[in-house]
Structure 1
Amino acid sequence: MKRILLVRHGESEWNAIRRLQGQADIGLSALGEQQARTLASMVATYAPDVVLTSDLKRAVATAALLGYADAVREPLLREQSVGNWTGAEIATLMAETPAAYAGWRAGTFAPENGEIWADFRARIRQAIQAAIDMPDETILMVCHGGVIRAALDSTLGLAPARIIPAGPASLTILAFPKGEARLEVFNATTFSSVLDAPD
């Protein structure tokens, strides 16, 4: 059966201080590196046939720490661009523009110069469809929290407002029995799951 394993990168330096990064190319924190190493044994049990990664360095580094330094870099798997909000502190956005932040989180608002949800979801759907079309059964995608939400929206119709952010170094699995998507695993880790992960 076709399975797509979606791994969010380990905690980044900006995740640690709750700063929005979008497509800013921010590296992993020391904790993020540890999280990725810890997740490696879980991911290995699924023996992925193909490994793809976002080309942003926090995802590339996570793939390497999972044991897949030769993962194919796929720009379609980049995080959603947050435009002029890049580098903004989440607490400040929530305090100063609560409706806009809530709308962005729900997929109904895009900050100036940011990527609108419909376009982002379509980009991620393109990446998911390419994986479905591969002859291989198990595809690992090392990506970002927004990518996972967009994948669940585009395959299952699960709106982003109804999904908590996937935690750092967590595993989500979509399966496609008879071509129909189903969610098998969400936000799984080998350590205590982070339920209030920053975007």
Structure 2
Amino acid sequence: MIVYIVRHTSVVLDGNEICYGFTDIALRDTFEQEAAVTKSKLHGLSFDEVFTSPLSRASKLADFCGHPDAERDDRLKEMNFGEWELRPWADIIVGQSTEEFFLEYITKPAPGGESQLMQYERVCDFILEKQAEGLDQILVFCHGGVINCAKTMAGLCDLNEAFATIPDFGSVTRLEF
């Protein structure tokens, strides 16, 4: 199965400074310009089905790209950072290096949230379900963490790299499963 997986356009918060995942964050005023670029990357492609995270930053891009009826699926949401949502990373990562901190949370859930492994398992569940349905080519609008989980499942990276590199806003990644 081929999956074209799209990251939402840029948001009003800086994810390097503020922790957000499950929270529904507003898009920047440049949404239409960014979305037009993303839409052009999808031109000429066809899909058996189209899916989106229910968070507005992903579903709004799906709508803009001509897929207002994309199926919403909670498994495509960004990681749930629980009590850390909307807090500055500087207040969360205390007493250890950033690298050490994120390696720990691959398996340890954020307080009131989930671990990277938990997110990975739900993304894998989604992909395996779509494979079992016999779909050949699908389009998914979602988030950087979801994309990295899918890339891990496809064998392109490791979970310990998932926080280190996030795909660009509005990017389109082609994966084969």
TM-score by length of 2: 0.85
State whether residues 12 and 27 of structure 1, in contact with CA within 8 Å, keep that contact through their aligned partners in structure 2.
yes
What's the counterpart of residue 142 of structure 2? 143
Q: Deviations over 1:161-199 (max 9, x none)?
A: 3351111111111113xxxxxxxxxxxxxxxxxxxxxxx
- Measured at CA, do residues 15 and 142 of structure 1 come closer, stay the same or move farther in structure 2, by a change above 3 Å? farther
Q: Deviations over 1:134-163 (max 9, x none)?
A: 333210010100101111223317213335
Larger helix percent: 1
- Which structure would you say has the larger RCO, counting Cα contacts within 8 Å and 6 or more residues apart? 2
Task: Return 5+ residue gaps in structure 2 as ranges.
Answer: none
Structure 1 segments (4+ residues) deviating >4 Å: 91-94
Q: Distance in 2 between matches of 1:147 and 1:135?
A: 21
State whether residues 154 and 176 of structure 2, in contact with CA within 8 Å, keep that contact through their aligned partners in structure 1.
no
Q: Distance in 2 between matches of 1:101 and 1:32?
A: 31
Equivalences, count: 174
Q: Distance in 1 between matches of 2:85 and 2:99?
A: 13
Q: In structure 2, the residue corresponding to 1:12 is in which secondary structure?
A: coil
- Measured at CA, do residues 30 and 110 of structure 1 come closer, stay the same or move farther in structure 2, by a change above 3 Å? same
What's the counterpart of residue 38 of structure 1? 37
Task: Return 5+ residue gaps in structure 1 as ranges.
Answer: 177-199
- Measured at CA, do residues 86 and 169 of structure 1 come closer, stay the same or move farther in structure 2, by a change above 3 Å? same
- Measured at CA, do residues 173 and 73 of structure 1 come closer, stay the same or move farther in structure 2, by a change above 3 Å? same
Identity of aligned residues (%): 26
Q: Distance in 2 between matches of 1:118 and 1:76?
A: 13
Quote the offset at 1:108 in angstroms: 4.6
Q: Deviations over 1:105-132 (max 9, x none)?
A: 6725443122012211110100111222
What's the counterpart of residue 104 of structure 1? 102
What's the counterpart of residue 175 of structure 2? 174
What's the counterpart of residue 77 of structure 2? 78
